[in-house]
């Protein structure tokens, strides 16, 4: 089965071999459709990434969908208020599986400067996060870089028993990690 168009014609045998995992990863990473979904100032940068100057379309990943049923990438662009958290979760649940997420900016990743009762201190409290994108706000180039890095992750994702093994390893590592209340940061 040929993965690179034209390459198979140059090989003497006329075909390429690959694994189901690699083929699925290749197709998934090249058909990411983000949900149209912005929460705060970071969303302006996300919109700029899709507009003419930065032109996300160059990478074939600009098809923002208004319905979560047609999207498989959630870019959480901005701070998540406690009031908005159930809505974010509902949109995530309505998206087609397999699905991926990017926490765009300091607020979505950790609450940012809003260390208060109204803001969720990191969207990973309500949905799984695949990429944390730093910055306040991150520039459109940074968002593109994050999506390309996510492409790499998706391309190497495992399936079946291999996937279950990795999930168990990640879970064990998370359980062994230091609890966040014991971490010391700038404000501690
Ligand atoms: S990270 Fe900065 S730009 Fe992004 S939502 Fe928070 S305050 Fe706004």
The CA 2 to ligand 1 mean position distance, Å, reads 43
Separation of alpha carbons 156 and 10, rounded Å: 26
pLDDT above 70 covers a percentage of the chain that reads: 88
What are the b/e assignments for 72-99, b being 16+ CB within 10 Å? Answer: bbbbbbbbbeeebbeebeebbeebeeeb
Name residues contacting ligand 1 (CB within 6 A): 40-42, 78-79, 105-107, 112, 136-137
pLDDT digits (tens, 9 = 90+) for 90-147: 999 999 888 999 999 999 999 999 999 999 999 999 999 999 999 999 999 999 999 9
In terms of pLDDT, which residue wins out, 62 or 14? 62
Instruction: Please check whether residue 64 is in contact with residue 36, taking contact to mean a CB–CB distance below 8 angstroms.
Output: yes
At residue 1, the pLDDT reads: 44
* Cβ-based burial of 8 (10 A; exposed 0-12, middle 13-18, buried ≥19): middle
Minimum CA distance residue for ligand 1 atom 7: 136
Mean predicted lDDT score pLDDT of the chain? 86
pTM (2 decimals)?
0.82
In this predicted structure, the answer to whether residue 183 has a pLDDT above a threshold of 50 is yes
The CA 114 to ligand 1 mean position distance, Å, reads 9
The CA 42 to ligand 1 mean position distance, Å, reads 5
Separation of alpha carbons 35 and 48, rounded Å: 15
In terms of pLDDT, which residue wins out, 175 or 60? 175
In terms of pLDDT, which residue wins out, 99 or 3? 99
Minimum CA distance residue for ligand 1 atom 5: 78
Q: What is the DSSP letter of 34?
A: B
At residue 2, the pLDDT reads: 43
pLDDT digits (tens, 9 = 90+) for 14-48: 566 678 888 888 888 888 899 988 899 999 999 99
Closest CA to 75 of 36, 110, 106, 44: 36
If residue 13 lies in a helix (H) or strand (E), which one and from where to where?
A: none
Instruction: Please check whether residue 54 is in contact with residue 93, taking contact to mean a CB–CB distance below 8 angstroms.
Output: no
Instruction: Please check whether residue 146 is in contact with residue 46, taking contact to mean a CB–CB distance below 8 angstroms.
Output: no
């Amino acid at each position: 089965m040929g993965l690179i168009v034209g390459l198979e014609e140059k090989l003497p045998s006329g075909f390429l071999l690959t694994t189901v995992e690699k083929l699925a990863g290749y197709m998934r990473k090249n058909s990411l459709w983000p949900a149209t979904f912005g929460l705060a100032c970071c969303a302006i940068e996300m919109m700029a990434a899709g507009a003419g100057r930065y032109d996300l379309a160059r990478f074939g990943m600009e098809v923002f969908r208004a319905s979560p049923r047609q999207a498989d990438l959630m870019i959480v662009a901005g701070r998540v208020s406690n009031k908005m958290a159930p809505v974010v979760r509902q949109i995530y649940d309505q998206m087609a599986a397999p699905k991926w997420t990017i926490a765009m900016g300091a607020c979505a990743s950790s609450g940012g400067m809003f260390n208060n009762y109204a803001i969720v201190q990191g969207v990973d409290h309500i949905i799984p996060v695949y990429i944390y994108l730093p910055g306040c706000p991150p520039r459109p180039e940074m968002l593109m870089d994050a999506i390309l890095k996510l492409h790499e992750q998706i391309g190497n994702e495992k399936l079946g028993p291999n996937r279950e093994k990795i999930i168990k390893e990640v879970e064990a590592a998370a359980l062994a990690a230091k609890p966040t209340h014991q971490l010391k940061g700038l404000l501690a």
